[in-house]
Amino acid sequence: MWITKLKIKHDCIIGNRCREFGVTTTGTPFSVYVKDGITYSPQVHKVEGESENVKEFIKNLKKDKKVQNFDVEGDVIFLVEVQKKQKVTASIFSTLGPQIIFVKPVFVDKQGYEYWEVASWKKKILTDFIDGIFKEVTKDVEILKLGETKLTDIYFSRLMPKLTESQKKAVNLAFEKGYYEWPKKTDFGKLSKLMKVSVPTFREHLKRAEEKLMPDLIRLTD
């Protein structure tokens, strides 16, 4: 199995708004399809950031004329992006799509860069895919990884356990500020101040979040 990780920036209804509102998203694209010359791109996204920024992101996205079937629950959005003309990306996926597997959700950072990790059984399929994006979609493409991998290294997405707002905020803050790096870049004292709670309260939120998340993470390493 061959796998590539790409860093991409292009004109995108999600990436543009991540940059505008200072949020990040983690999303999963579904099968792009074309009917009567119109391109339909179903997708689901989880939005992360300051609560007010997330609300503004969602409110603004909902108004986009390219968006249909918009559904939202908390910070999770389902939508179908509709283009009257076939998108170049849709053309690439319609040609190579059945041979391309997204092995991880797509992450979009606050600068609007998308991180794709896709796999296929032949290196040439991936290089043709990359060439198609570079030539027809955007020149702002960086290949972060390209090589063979084992099947056990491929991530299969699953529903994550439901966290409370405080638990989500605690674990996201800990991750963002380097608590899980080695050596640690922060501690409970600094994190609790950022979250504006006491150290015991922050520790409790993080502990509860880890208790819910760890079983799935451990299973992925089995």
Supply the pTM of this predicted model: 0.69
Mean pLDDT across the stretch 173-182?
86
pLDDT confidence of residue 101: 82
Confidence of residue 71 (pLDDT cuts 50, 70, 90): very high
pLDDT confidence of residue 153: 60
Q: Which DSSP state fits 121?
A: S
Token look-up 């920036």 returns 9
With a pLDDT cut of 70, the percent of the chain lying above it is: 85
Neighbour-count burial of 181, counting CB atoms closer than 10 A to its CB (0-12 exposed, 13-18 middle, 19+ buried): exposed
pLDDT confidence of residue 77: 92
pLDDT at residue 152 is higher than 80: no
Mean pLDDT across the stretch 161-171?
83
Q: Which DSSP state fits 186?
A: -
pLDDT confidence of residue 221: 45
pLDDT confidence of residue 151: 66
pLDDT at residue 161 is higher than 70: no
Averaged pLDDT score across all residues of the chain: 83
Confidence of residue 192 (pLDDT cuts 50, 70, 90): very high
Distances (CA, A) of 220 to 35, 143, 167: 38, 26, 22
Residue of 92, 67, 85 whose CA lies nearest to 6? 92
pLDDT confidence of residue 159: 44
